[in-house]
Amino acid sequence: MPFAALALDKLRHARWLDRERIVAWCAILAVLETALLLGIALWQHGAFGPVDPRSSDFLSFYAAGKLVLSGTPALAYDQSAHFMAEQAIGGAGVPYQFFFYPPVYLPVCALLATLPYYPAFILFQLAPLVPFLLIARSILKMPGLAWLAPLLAFPAIFWTIGLGQNAFLTAALFGGFTLLLDRKPYTSGVLLGLICYKPHFGILAPIALIAGNRWRAFAAAALTVAAMVALSVALFGTGTWFAYIAATLHANTVFGSGRIDYAGMVTVFGAERLMGFAAAPAYGLQLIVSLEMVTLVALMWRRKISAALQFVTLISATLLAVPVALIYDQMLLLLAVVWFTGGTRRSGFLPWERLALATIYLLALLTWPVGTVWHLPLGPIPPSILLILCVRRLWRSLELRTRRTA
Distance CA 303, CA 310 (A): 9
Q: Is 236 exposed, middle or buried (0-12, 13-18, 19+ CB in 10 A)?
A: buried
DSSP character at residue 260: S
Question: In this predicted model, what pLDDT tens digit does every residue of 341-381 receive, in sequence order?
Answer: 999 877 789 999 999 999 999 999 999 999 999 999 999 99
The pLDDT score that the predictor gives to residue 347 is 78
Residue 326 has pLDDT above 90, yes or no: yes
How many folded domains does the chain comprise? 1
Per-residue pLDDT band for 406 (boundaries 50, 70, 90) equals low
- Between 226 and 146, the more confident residue is 226
Hey, which bits of 201-356 come out as E strands? none
Establish if 38 belongs to a structural domain. Answer: no
Distance CA 271, CA 266 (A): 7
Residues 11, 355: contact at Cβ < 8 Å?
yes
Establish if 43 belongs to a structural domain. Answer: no
Establish if 270 belongs to a structural domain. Answer: yes
Distance CA 333, CA 312 (A): 9
Question: In this predicted model, what pLDDT tens digit does every residue of 260-273 receive, in sequence order?
Answer: 889 999 999 999 99
Query: Which residues does 21 contact at the CB level (< 8 Å), separation at least 6?
Result: none
The pLDDT score that the predictor gives to residue 348 is 86
Residues 169, 196: contact at Cβ < 8 Å?
no
105-116 b/e with 16+ CB inside 10 Å = b?
Answer: bbbbbbebbeee
The pLDDT score that the predictor gives to residue 249 is 86
**What does R_g of the chain's alpha carbons equal in angstroms?**
22
Establish if 401 belongs to a structural domain. Answer: no
Residue 43 φ then ψ, to 5°? -65, -45
Establish if 15 belongs to a structural domain. Answer: no
Distance CA 389, CA 76 (A): 43
Establish if 30 belongs to a structural domain. Answer: no
* Terminal Cα distance for the chain, rounded: 36
Residue 403 has pLDDT above 90, yes or no: no
Other CB atoms within a 10 A radius of the CB of residue 122 amount to 10
Sign of CA dihedral 114, 118, 121, 122: negative
Establish if 277 belongs to a structural domain. Answer: yes
Question: Element (H or E) spanning 122, and its range?
Answer: helix 117-140
Question: In this predicted model, what pLDDT tens digit does every residue of 233-257 receive, in sequence order?
Answer: 999 999 999 999 999 988 777 777 6
Give the SS3 label for residue 326: strand
Give the SS3 label for residue 304: coil
The mean per-residue pLDDT over the stretch 211-226 comes to 98
Per-residue pLDDT band for 229 (boundaries 50, 70, 90) equals very high
Sign of CA dihedral 173, 174, 179, 180: positive
Distance CA 155, CA 102 (A): 27
Residue 1 has pLDDT above 70, yes or no: no
Residues 300, 397: contact at Cβ < 8 Å?
no
Of 3-17, 55-69, 72-86, 199-213, the least confident: 3-17
What percentage of the chain carries pLDDT values higher than 70?
96
Full domain range(s) for residue 354: 49-394
Q: pTM for this structure?
A: 0.96
Q: Which long-range contacts (CB under 8 A, 24 or more apart) does 242-248 make?
A: 242/74, 243/74, 243/75, 243/76, 243/77, 243/78, 244/77, 244/102, 244/103, 246/77, 247/77, 247/79, 247/99, 247/100, 248/100
Establish if 18 belongs to a structural domain. Answer: no
